[in-house]
Amino acid sequence: MTPDYIDPRSGATFPLDQPRWCGEERAPLLLTPLPGLTREQIDPATRSLWRYRAAFPLKPDNPITLGEGVTPLIPGTVAGVQVLLKCEWFNPTCSFKDRGASVMLSLLRAQGVDHVLEDSSGNGGAAVAAYAAAGGMAATILAPESTSPAKTLQMRAHGASVELIPGSRQDTADAALVRSADIFYASHNWHPFFLQGTKTLAYELWEDLGFRAPDNVIVPCGAGSNVLGCEIGFSELLRAGQIDFLPRIFAAQPANCAPISAAFLAGSDEPVATEITPTMAEGTAIARPIRLREVLGALRETRGGAVALTEAEIGEAMLDLARVGIYVEPTCAQVAAAFGKLLGTGTVTAEQTTVLVLTGTGLKATPRIAELMGIAL
């Protein structure tokens, strides 16, 4: 059966052969369920996430690839317990966003799109800029004026047109919606093709672990693309008979900007009142995630949960990881702090297989880390 775009809230579907980033009245879209793949369908000769191309809705002959995916899964100790660290900063632009950018832009180019618009607090924009450059596409990136210079410089170096927007991350997203009338909106938060890239994290963990599922996966969560990607990927593997259960997925958010955690803990499918203030975890500072209901559904479907973390907890976790050789940005250090709290409540246990997804390098957050350490640059 040919997949379609689907509005999961109304059930409306749209054909996949036309470029589209939203449904009617700007409803966020997913894709109709795909069958997944078996281990025999993996292409072992391809050392990138395109080894799983059999699981994608479209299969372009010449995908835009820079060798993304196939990132290390290494043992580590957090809160005195052995865990597995998925080192996503080994991706070409040093964050997990390369997974989504490679698949999204490859499929959009196959649909005839040659100029894309993105809004980002940094890593998503860097990934879209890089893959657009690799694919001969033009890119316009809107970013908050507070974005780390290392990230905006990377976007500019790839040839993207970068515009800094005053105000919050949400102000930047709102500005992008206005500009989407003129440039195709290839948003890592909106476009369902991006989730087809992030679902490869699930496929890769399955392969890393000898074709079995972990018990728990803890991810930093802003808009929820890794939560949804993991739920989609593991659900496809379950559908294909390749795993026996869905891993529990846990979302780690800064308490200063935790709309998903607040709604989950309140047992709500809708936004709940929560104060939004600045956070060092800039990559997860999404005040109004567009797929809130779907992310909450993924957390509940997998029997996972959400954890909100103070700035002090995030900073301490970042420095603790650095002092054992793992240099990541505060955004993804949240998963280590979240693991400690989940362990303390007995929600996860030491004997379970738990994966902490470390989504981006500390090299992109130099000013924030210097401030955390009390060092003047």
The 10s digit of each residue's pLDDT in 359-377 is 999 998 888 899 999 998 8
Residue at a domain's end among 172, 193, 214: 193
Per the prediction, the chain carries an average pLDDT of 96
Please tell me whether residues 149 and 267 are part of one structural domain.
no
Q: What number of other Cβ atoms are within 10 A of residue 15's Cβ?
A: 10
Q: Over the stretch 234-257, which tens digit does the pLDDT of each residue have? A: 999 999 999 999 999 999 999 999
In a domain, 352, yes or no: yes
**Rounded to two decimals, what is the model's pTM?**
0.96
For strands 248-254 and 4-6, give the pairing.
Answer: unpaired
Q: Say whether pLDDT at 1 is over 80.
A: no
* pLDDT for residue 270: 94
Please tell me whether residues 307 and 360 are part of one structural domain.
yes
* pLDDT for residue 367: 87
Q: Over the stretch 85-114, which tens digit does the pLDDT of each residue have? A: 999 999 999 999 999 999 999 999 999 999
* pLDDT for residue 145: 92
Residue numbers of the domain that contains 122: 97-193
C-alpha–C-alpha distance, residues 71 and 200, integer Å: 11
Q: Over the stretch 15-69, which tens digit does the pLDDT of each residue have? A: 998 999 999 999 999 999 999 999 999 999 999 999 999 999 999 999 999 999 9
C-alpha–C-alpha distance, residues 154 and 149, integer Å: 8
Angle between helices 149-157 and 123-134 (to 10 degrees): 10
Residue at a domain's end among 160, 193, 226: 193
DSSP 31: E
In a domain, 223, yes or no: yes
Of 66-70, 75-79, 320-324, 363-367, least confident by mean pLDDT is: 363-367
**What's the structural domain count of the chain?**
2
In a domain, 7, yes or no: no
Please tell me whether residues 229 and 128 are part of one structural domain.
no
* pLDDT for residue 4: 97
One-letter amino acid identity for 370?
A
* pLDDT for residue 237: 98
Residue at a domain's end among 139, 163, 193: 193
What's the rounded mean pLDDT across residues 316-325?
Answer: 97
* pLDDT for residue 97: 97
What's the rounded mean pLDDT across residues 319-323?
Answer: 97
Please tell me whether residues 187 and 258 are part of one structural domain.
no
Please tell me whether residues 242 and 313 are part of one structural domain.
yes
Give the N- to C-terminal CA distance of the chain in Å, as an integer.
Answer: 57
In a domain, 348, yes or no: yes
Percent of the chain predicted with pLDDT > 70: 100
Burial label, 244 (beta-carbon count in 10 A; 0-12, 13-18, 19+): exposed
Please tell me whether residues 235 and 360 are part of one structural domain.
yes
Please tell me whether residues 189 and 269 are part of one structural domain.
no
Please tell me whether residues 266 and 365 are part of one structural domain.
yes
Q: What is the CATH number of the domain that holds 219?
A: 3.40.50.1100
Exposure letters 44-66 (e unless 16+ CB within 10 A, then b):
eebebbbbbbbbbbbebeebbbb
Please tell me whether residues 116 and 87 are part of one structural domain.
no
In a domain, 41, yes or no: no
In a domain, 59, yes or no: no
In a domain, 289, yes or no: yes
* Tokens encoding 275: 């104060």
In a domain, 164, yes or no: yes
Please tell me whether residues 184 and 284 are part of one structural domain.
no
Please tell me whether residues 173 and 229 are part of one structural domain.
no
Which comes out higher in pLDDT, residue 69 or 121?
A: 69
Q: Over the stretch 263-311, which tens digit does the pLDDT of each residue have? A: 999 999 999 999 999 999 988 989 999 999 999 999 999 999 999 999 9
Please tell me whether residues 109 and 219 are part of one structural domain.
no
